[in-house]
Structure 1
């Protein structure tokens, strides 16, 4: 065709890629916990208005932040259950515009505490 430069060739769509090897494993659902027979665990919750505590706030054992709430719960507790329990004791969490976010605090390989924020994806159905 006159006046047209070279047109790039588009790859033709081929058959769908075949996965080699076994299919990916589905996540095994954990066994439901019988809360009547299973002993609860102690969950230490540190509340803070305006953000999360820093790693340094947990650097020395026994000198953790003073805003601790101790909750006895089970390992299958949902964040909704934990939120409701925190709201019972932390007045700022009850505010209408309060936003709660969660983080795990745990020791790394060297024994230093790490604060890792929990990412929550919410599905809003109206």
Structure 2
């Protein structure tokens, strides 16, 4: 985390909405309705790694994890609207696409997260350890900006408890797929389709709420809330923004 600190001293964090589900990922069409799935609002930076995201989730809402939490896999996906579906004038719900970010396993290579024995959220977060993937590539070191994250995108987290025999649950099948119809993504799933998106897509993700004239990919990110450190956001919970 120390390696990311210098650029963060000069940049305000933004609000990231993380949706969570036990046992599986959300379907893309679940984000095209007004009744969105349960979520957490967290302040972070584009250089946030999956390790840090797992730390924040565990610290903010430890009750989401089994007790003991060792061996729990947290898998992450990027959720974003298909740019072409947002450009139409029909005011229908946009199609959403997903991109796998990777996963971390609590307690892999370390003491893990003992929720019952934790004194505070900071201590809980310090005991989450990343999993090392085949070939020495560690998903936990992957960053949001490295995955072409744009401010306003959602992150979906699948919480996968250990299997009945104690083994770590397998990583979900990786793919890129569009929703809600489940058809193929436009432009072969490319993210560089022009203008970036604002912090909101309108109520429940409808395209007519998208502000026009926002910043474009490659320009400086819009200023976020003036927060000195990453942590919990306001109005966290099921419907909070």
TM-score (norm. length: structure 1): 0.63
Name the CA shift for 1:114/1:90 in 2 (closer, same or farther; >3 Å). Answer: farther
**Contact 1:103–1:116 at 8 Å: present in 2 too?**
yes
Question: Are positions 1:63 and 2:46 aligned together?
Answer: no
**Contact 1:43–1:71 at 8 Å: present in 2 too?**
yes
Distance 1:81 1:119 in 2: 13
Q: Secondary structure at the match of 2:41?
A: strand
For structure 1, the residue ranges without an aligned partner over 5 or more in a row are 1-31
**Contact 2:29–2:95 at 8 Å: present in 1 too?**
no
TM-score (norm. length: structure 2): 0.35
Distance 2:78 2:99 in 1: 5
**Contact 1:86–1:93 at 8 Å: present in 2 too?**
no
The 4+ residue runs of structure 1 with deviation greater than 2 A are 90-94, 115-124
Equivalent in the alignment of 1:11? none
Higher relative CO (CA 8 A, sep ≥ 6), structure 1 or 2? 2
1:16-65 deviations in whole A, cap 9, x for unaligned? xxxxxxxxxxxxxxxx86212211111110011001000121012x3210
**Contact 2:80–2:96 at 8 Å: present in 1 too?**
yes
Name the CA shift for 1:90/1:48 in 2 (closer, same or farther; >3 Å). Answer: farther
Name the CA shift for 1:90/1:45 in 2 (closer, same or farther; >3 Å). Answer: farther
Question: Are positions 1:83 and 2:54 aligned together?
Answer: yes
Equivalent in the alignment of 2:64? 92
Distance 1:58 1:33 in 2: 35
1:118 shift after superposition: 2.2
Name the CA shift for 1:119/1:81 in 2 (closer, same or farther; >3 Å). Answer: closer
Equivalent in the alignment of 2:95? 112
Distance 1:37 1:119 in 2: 28
Name the CA shift for 1:33/1:64 in 2 (closer, same or farther; >3 Å). Answer: farther
1:71-126 deviations in whole A, cap 9, x for unaligned? 110000111000000111142336112111000000012131123322467238xx
Aligned length: 92
For structure 2, the residue ranges without an aligned partner over 5 or more in a row are 86-93, 104-131, 138-241
